[in-house]
A and B are shown apart, each in its own frame.
Chain A
Amino acid sequence: MNFLARRQALANVAEVTLVALAAGGEVEAFEELVRRREPRLRQFLRRVCANTALADDLSQQAFLQAWMQLRTLREPAAFGSWLRQLALNCALQQMRRRTEQLDPDAGMDIPANDADVGLVLDLERALERLRPDERICVVLCHAEGMSHGEIATHTGWPLGTVKSHVTRGSARLRAWLDPGVLEAP
């Protein structure tokens, strides 16, 4: 089977099978996993970091860690949440290392669809203004649908801290966002 035919065949394979193949050392299967997961992972990290370039670097780092640790994943169906946890750990490590402010010019890309530009810029600006720890809690709670307890488990922060970050961060986000954007259907 040539390269293109094999790639085409892998494009139709279920993710669980791809994970099993990649865990067995098949690079093509892992490449297909990366291709499927990278937009979602980059969006998650862009929200968490509020920095496009950093989010792309961390995505790459998270995928490489996933390749190295794939054999330790016991439940292939949980690949998505496992990968998100790896990415979150990368972001948290980066946050601890970074003492300097983020580069204010390192803004996010504007999506190709013009109709969504206003929404994205408003949400991005508001997220950028949040404190990093508040931003992480707000994104995990509202964008990823995690409970406060799950956020505390995933970040290693106390439950009370998570609750106050979510409450304060959400209130700030709402205050900074255009009401028209918030109330749009």
Chain B
Amino acid sequence: MDKIATGGIAKDETATDEIILQTRDLSVQFGGLKAVNRVNLTVTRGDLLGLIGPNGAGKTTIFNLITGSLVPTEGEIIFRGHQIGGKRPDVIARMGISRTFQNIRLFPQMSVLENVAIGLHAAPKYTVLEALFRLPRAVRSDREVNRKAMEHLERVGLAEYHDAKAGSLPYGLQRKLEIARAMATSPQLLLLDEPAAGMNNEECQSFIAFLRQLHRETGLSIVLIEHHMNVVMDLCPRIYVLNLGEVLAEGDPREIQRNPAVIRAYLGERRRTARAGDRA
């Protein structure tokens, strides 16, 4: 992964202005319900984009559409110049989009190391024949994968747990592991679905630092769904607000916090800058 130095994360300071992901009039309909309605999003390379909105606004649904778990009923999703709407999830993943989940989806009985390794060898690096006969290429590849997986673990500070069963880790570390696993796929775009869910203030602060450093070191484009307002406002120079499946507003944290429609729909009566985000 390239280490692009993006010291300040404001939009106009990123290395390139290349649009990495764009949705045009993206919609999905379940029976009579339009869960996502003509959503237009743009993610620029190196962005750390926030996606917020009340529960049921369609945020995770948009993630599901982007990653191929759902097929759009209308509209387009364009990733690095390719139409990806309706493609198979594993194909999209191999094209460079990876994600974490609202409800943690680790492989609980596999070790921490093995979980991350999946990210590296989801598309196996040798043939079945070479696997069956344990040919040198397979042995070397496995060794290499393990080495790289350890590096990923070291980067997120989980190296000492490499042998533990993933399901036995405490909650906060499981979330970190999910991120490490997603990063192991060498994505161009990382979608994080409520990575700070269930964390208290202190944990949120260290998570903010963690994510900021990760973003700085790797230059990954990240889209973040979060309910903890302090996390989003602190980290994301640009934020989309969703409500009832539609984009309500877009802007930097200050603009969002001042936007009356947003306040009405989401932040409730409190007109102060959001602090210690409550789950809606």
Q: Bound pair: A and B?
A: no
